[in-house]
Amino acid sequence: MEKFHLLIEILKALIKANKPLETGELHQELVRVGLMEDPKSRVERRKLLRALSTLESFGYVESVEAGGRKPFSWSLNHNKFRFLTSYSLEELISIAVLFSFFPRHYRHLPFFQKAFNVIERFERELSEEEKRLLRFSFERIPIPNERFVKLEPAVVEKLIIALLENRKIYFVYRDRSFRVFPVKLFTYNGMFYLGALDGNLYRNFLVSRIKNVELLNERISLEEKSSLVEQTFKIPDEEPFLFGVKFPESYATEEEIRNGIQFFPTQFHARVVADGIEVYLVGFTGKRFVSWFLVEKALSLIPPNREILEIAKKVRVKEREPNVSYSLKTNLERFERFKEKGLEILHLRMATFESSFD
């Protein structure tokens, strides 16, 4: 029984460390938990080595012989403990915090609930006070205009299976039937979308409108999908252009600018100027980008110019956005279309406010 206890404690020590331990380090850990008494005892060291040899013979641990005079290191064979050795306490807390930012509206979906069940199972290592502190301290705050919609759990489950197995599916969408290869499941503005190949055409479907999903036997490889899909969010009237925007100086400190603060996902340069902060970014001519852009508190727009183009070339913006042009004429033309779309949306929003005074 004593030997069995020692074997278990060795495995526990390696699980907790989550990294290879030298024989001496392992010995000290066993002294710390009270299983061994003297870290310098040769008798106890031989006892430890015999136990390690037993575990190695069963394939539960692996030894790594270091070069020179360095001692052996021992590590857990994770293939034997795939569902037991995944988390240290620090990793568990980190994952629990990460999950707290997952939208509450979608936590009930069966596929995602499995992940929360894992956390709850491993949370047994935490005290009730630690659990309450974690749940109280970290919270996801949705933006005011973020939308959510109730999803059919069975639909989401089948879509995920189809994606993981690269299978074709049948479903009904807005009273039309489709047979497509799912490519991506993603969220935009709080809503779930399915990107799929309809023949050679890539389309996005709102998941909440997908009905009667059936898994089909036909399959497609990831390589085939990749060769057919060029851009996940491609919209016909979207063309990229380079421009700038000026923010109030209170928007960020100089240190934050130096540390690379990102005001926009497509930003490629920012700097402090005399009367504010200038940010250079890739914009798009479509209404989706314009509507999103209008949320920001911009003081003014900076039309495309040669300096912006030169900075874009220097940081290789075209590698991130292949359809960007370094032609000043092309960028100015697209910038004008962006302004027209922006004024159109702005007038619609102004009409909303004006109507409340009628």
In a domain, 235, yes or no: no
Asked if the model's pLDDT at residue 193 lies above 80, the reply is yes
Q: For residues 157 and 289, which has the higher predicted lDDT (pLDDT)?
A: 157
Say if residue 188 is in the same domain as residue 273.
no
Contact predicate 155/175, CB 8 Å: no
Q: How far apart are CA 94 and CA 194, in angstroms?
A: 29
Percent of the chain past pLDDT 70, that is, above it, reads 92
Mean pLDDT computed over 218-243: 78
Binning pLDDT at 50, 70 and 90, where does residue 231 land?
Answer: low
First and final C-alpha spacing in the chain? 86
Tens of pLDDT, residue by residue over 258-281, are 998 999 989 999 999 988 999 999
> What number is the average pLDDT over the span 44-65?
87
CA distance 174 to 209: 7
Same domain, 253 and 331: yes
Q: What residue numbers bound the domain in which 172 lies?
A: 153-228
Q: For residues 123 and 305, which has the higher predicted lDDT (pLDDT)?
A: 305
Tokens (6 digits) for 256: 């934050």
Q: Judge whether residue 232 has pLDDT over 70.
A: no
- 222 in the same domain as 193: yes
Judge residue 73's burial from the number of C-beta atoms within 10 Å of its C-beta, 0-12 exposed, 13-18 middle, 19 or more buried. middle
Q: Tally the domains of the chain.
A: 4
In a domain? residue 38: yes
What CATH number corresponds to the domain at position 7?
1.10.10.10
Strand, coil or helix: 15:
helix
Does 358 fall in a domain?
A: no
- Decide if 145 is inside a domain: no
Classify residue 26: in a domain, yes or no.
yes
The last residue of one of the domains, among 70, 104, 137, is 137
Residue 176 tokens, joined: 């039309």
| Spatial separation of the C-alpha atoms in residues 326 and 330, rounded to whole Å | 8
Higher-confidence residue: 265 or 355?
A: 265
Mean pLDDT across 240-249: 94
If asked whether residues 244 and 320 sit together in one domain, one would say yes
pLDDT of res. 226: 81
pLDDT tens string 130-144: 888 888 888 888 777
Q: Could you tell me the CATH number of the domain that includes residue 190?
A: 2.30.30
pLDDT (tens digit, 9 = 90+) per residue, 83-130?
Answer: 665 667 777 788 888 888 888 888 888 888 888 877 777 777 778 888
Task: Check whether residue 255 and residue 192 sit in a common domain.
Answer: no
Residues 246 and 223 in one domain: no
Q: How confident is the model at residue 183 (pLDDT cuts 50, 70, 90)?
A: very high
The whole-angstrom separation of Cα 305 and Cα 301 is: 12
Query: What pLDDT score does 45 carry?
Result: 87
Burial of residue 285, with CB atoms counted within 10 A of its CB: 0-12 exposed, 13-18 middle, 19 or more buried: buried
55 shares its domain with 120: no
The answer to whether residues 247 and 323 belong to one domain is: yes
Residue 19 pLDDT: 81
For residue 146, being part of any structural domain is answered with: no
Q: Residue 174, Cβ neighbours under 10 Å: how many?
A: 10
State whether residue 99 is helix, strand or coil: helix
The pLDDT score that the predictor gives to residue 158 is: 96
d(CA 225, CA 74): 42
Q: How confident is the model at residue 77 (pLDDT cuts 50, 70, 90)?
A: confident
Pair (290, 349) in one structural domain: yes
The pLDDT of residue 214: 97
Q: Which of 80, 99, 118 is the last residue of a domain?
A: 80
State how far the Cα of 3 lies from the Cα of 47, in Å rounded to an integer: 9
pLDDT at 245: 94
pLDDT of residue 102: 86
Answer yes or no: is 62 within a domain: yes
**What is d(CA 61, CA 85) in angstroms, rounded to the nearest whole number?**
12
Question: Do both 24 and 109 map to the same domain?
Answer: no
29 and 101 in a single domain? The answer is no
pLDDT over threshold 80, residue 12: yes
What mean pLDDT do residues 280-303 have? Answer: 86
Quickly state the pLDDT bin for 287 (edges 50, 70, 90). Answer: confident
Q: What is the dihedral of CA 216, 218, 224, 228, to 10 degrees?
A: -60
Domain's final residue, options 137, 171, 205: 137
**What SS3 state is found at 27?**
helix
Q: Is 270 left (phi over 0), alpha (psi -120 to 50) or beta?
A: beta
Give the sheet arrangement for strand 267-273, strand by strand. 267-273, 276-284, 240-247, 300-302
pLDDT higher than 90, residue 238: no
Residue 179 lies in a domain: yes
The model's pLDDT over 322-342, given as tens digits with 9 standing for 90+, comes to: 999 999 999 999 999 999 998
Same domain as 69, residue 14: yes
3 pLDDT band, cuts 50/70/90, is confident
Burial of 70 (0-12, 13-18, 19+ CB in 10 A): exposed
